[in-house]
Every structure is written in structure tokens, then in C-alpha cells.
């Protein structure tokens, strides 16, 4: 594909800037916060200021604070920007992600519109049912500390392969280099940057050059299905080779196993004939329901848990 230009002009359209403002200020708690009240009181002025600074390429992030969170059993350090900065980042990445999405393979998910965990899980189920003989075994892997270890120069090399808009590339480089090393886990731009890096160096290599038919990736977790263990061990070597090119490593807990054991992926245990919720998810839900006293928070937890159960065969 050719490199794309004139992206800044799409970003600074009023409709996009307004959408970014409304998305960042979504929710009662944000609107009632001190930052939220100030932004809402000066909405048009804020949009005008951010539009001007993005248009001339002078926009810079004003700093961040950090918070530790736990996601899927992993502890991560989240970088949190001011709401005003988040509006600008959202506006920029809303357009950038739209241009990047058409370059991704179909079976990659995480932070991609209409391609969440349930979509990817359904792709896996469909392939298992359509070709049981060709999907007898699975190779599952996870990239070690992906966001912390992602090389900023490789990320920018990938962005330059896609975009030729110099003002946009300057802004993206400021986002990528927010931290001394690695890419920020909390920044909206980092999700697109991570997907693009792995799309270029792993996804398209395995699908287009290596000819892997059944390959799926959700963020830094990968899964390959195949007919034999020997076939998957060869693919495993190819994955290690590609990750080595960009100074990333695969965790030692990778494995090749029969799919009849169940594929623990995306919060589910996937088998050819049925799907169950991961045991850890159920235990975490029960523990939180016991700890939480707020009715509002309990309703939110139940809605989230129900959303996961309805995509699995939880009535068996």
C-alpha cells in the first residue's frame, strides 16, 4: 500500500474534535470532576485551542501521573493524562486508527473497532468446527512485557511506512517517546502503535510470507492452530525469529498441545464442541461480588459477567 498523507486535515475537522471531546467527557463522574466541569464550561474554547495546536504540529503532552492496575492477572503501570490532553490524543488516534485498521489481518483484535474478544473467539470456534482435521493442535504464546520492551525506533519506522504527513509523524513521535523506554500502556496511541508493530513484523509475516492459515492475535497474546505438532513447532521457531528482529522475547510458558485439552484464550476455555468461561474469571467475579457493597457497582459487575457468559456455553 502507498503511504498516506493529509491526515491532519481529517483530524482537525470539527466533527472529529467534537466527538473526541464528548468521548473523553463521557460519564457522570468525569463531568462532575473539577477538570470535567472546567472543560464543559469552556468547551468551544478548548476545542479551538486544541485544533490550532494540532493543525500547526505544536501540540505537546503536558505530563502524566501513574497508577498500578491488574488486568487478566497481570500488574501494569498505567500512565494517565489530563482530560484536555486526552481529548487531543483521542482526536488524533480516532483518525489514525481508522487508516491503520485496513492494514490489519482479519484475525487480530484488541482496541480495534468491532474486533473484540468475542469476535476473535467466534473466529476460532468457526475454524475449529469447519476444519477439525486441520486444527488438531494449538501453539499458544505470549510476548514478554510487550509495552515495556517495545522499541520506540521500530514503532516509528512502522508509522513512517504508513504515513507521510510530517506534522502527524511529529505528533506520533511525541506520543511514542512519552517514556524513556518502551511505549506507554495507558496512552490511547500506544494501542494502535502496538498493533501496528506486531502487524508489520509478525501478523503479515506469518500469514503472507509463511502461509499460516489459522493464526490469531489479541494484543500480545498469540494462538496458532495446525494439523500436527511438528508443523506448529516450526511456526514457533518463525515467531521467535521475527520477535528477535525487534528485540522482543516470547515468555517461556509457551506450549504446543492438543485442542481437546481446551484452549485457554481470551478469558475462555475453547474446545471444538463447546466453550466455557475461564475458572479464574468466575472466581474473580465471586470474590468481587462478596467485597463490593455498592448496588451500582454490583449491577456493573453483573452486567460485565453476564456479557461474558452469554458468549459461552455456560448452561451445560
Q: How confident is the model at residue 212 (pLDDT cuts 50, 70, 90)?
A: very high
CA 273 to the chain's CA centroid: 28
What are the distances in angstroms from CA 305 to CA 262, 284, 292?
21, 10, 15
Taking residues 61-70, report their average pLDDT: 83
pLDDT score of 177 more than 60: yes
Alpha-carbon gap, residue 222 to 135, rounded angstroms: 15
Residues pairing with 215 in the sheet: 224
This prediction has a pTM of: 0.90
Query: Closest Cα partner for 47 from 78, 11, 99?
Result: 11
pLDDT score of 309 more than 70: yes
Residue 72 is predicted with a pLDDT of: 59
Stated as kind and residue range, the H or E segment containing 268 is strand 268-270
Residue 157 is predicted with a pLDDT of: 98
Residue 285 is predicted with a pLDDT of: 85
Residue 274 is predicted with a pLDDT of: 87
pLDDT score of 313 more than 90: no
Q: How confident is the model at residue 71 (pLDDT cuts 50, 70, 90)?
A: low
pLDDT in tens, 10-28: 999 999 999 999 999 998 8
Tell which phi-psi region holds residue 87, choosing left (phi > 0), alpha (psi between -120 and 50) or beta.
Answer: alpha
Alpha-carbon gap, residue 119 to 123, rounded angstroms: 6
pLDDT in tens, 82-112: 999 999 999 999 999 999 999 999 999 888 8
76 burial (CB, 10 Å; 0-12 / 13-18 / 19+) is middle
Q: Mean pLDDT in the chain?
A: 92
Residue 116 is predicted with a pLDDT of: 85
pLDDT score of 53 more than 90: yes
Q: How confident is the model at residue 282 (pLDDT cuts 50, 70, 90)?
A: confident
End-to-end CA distance of the chain: 47
pLDDT score of 213 more than 90: yes
Amino acid at each position: 500500500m502507498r503511504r498516506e498523507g493529509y491526515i491532519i486535515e481529517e483530524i482537525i475537522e470539527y466533527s472529529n474534535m467534537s466527538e473526541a471531546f464528548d468521548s473523553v467527557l463521557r460519564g457522570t463522574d468525569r463531568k462532575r470532576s473539577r477538570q470535567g466541569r472546567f472543560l464543559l464550561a469552556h468547551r468551544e474554547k478548548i476545542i479551538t485551542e486544541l485544533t490550532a495546536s494540532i493543525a500547526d504540529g505544536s501540540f505537546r503532552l503536558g505530563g502524566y501521573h501513574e497508577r498500578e492496575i491488574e488486568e487478566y492477572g497481570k500488574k501494569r503501570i498505567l500512565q494517565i493524562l489530563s482530560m484536555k490532553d486526552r481529548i487531543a490524543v483521542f482526536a488524533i488516534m480516532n483518525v489514525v486508527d481508522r487508516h491503520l485498521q485496513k492494514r490489519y489481518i482479519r484475525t487480530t483484535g484488541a482496541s480495534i473497532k468491532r474486533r473484540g474478544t468475542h469476535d476473535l473467539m467466534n473466529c476460532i470456534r468457526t475454524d475449529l468446527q469447519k476444519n477439525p482435521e486441520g486444527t488438531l493442535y494449538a501453539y499458544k504464546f505470549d510476548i514478554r512485557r510487550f509495552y515495556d520492551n517495545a522499541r520506540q525506533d521500530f514503532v516509528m519506522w512502522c508509522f513512517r511506512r504508513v504515513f507521510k504527513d510530517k506534522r502527524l509523524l511529529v505528533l506520533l513521535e511525541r506520543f511514542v517517546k512519552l517514556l524513556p523506554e518502551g511505549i506507554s500502556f495507558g496512552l490511547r496511541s500506544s494501542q494502535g502503535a502496538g498493533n501496528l508493530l506486531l502487524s508489520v513484523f509478525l501478523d503479515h509475516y506469518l500469514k503472507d510470507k509463511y502461509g499460516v492459515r489459522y493464526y490469531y492475535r489479541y494484543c500480545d497474546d498469540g494462538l496458532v492452530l495446525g494439523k500436527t505438532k511438528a508443523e506448529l513447532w516450526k511456526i514457533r521457531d518463525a515467531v521467535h525469529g521475527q520477535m528477535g528482529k525487534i528485540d522482543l522475547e516470547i515468555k517461556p510458558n509457551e506450549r504446543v498441545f492438543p485442542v481437546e485439552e481446551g484452549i485457554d484464550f481470551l478469558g475462555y476455555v475453547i474446545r471444538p464442541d463447546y466453550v466455557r468461561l475461564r475458572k479464574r474469571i468466575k472466581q474473580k467475579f465471586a470474590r468481587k461480588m462478596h467485597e463490593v457493597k455498592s448496588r451500582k457497582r454490583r449491577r456493573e459487575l453483573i452486567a460485565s459477567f453476564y456479557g461474558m457468559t452469554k458468549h459461552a456455553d455456560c448452561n451445560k
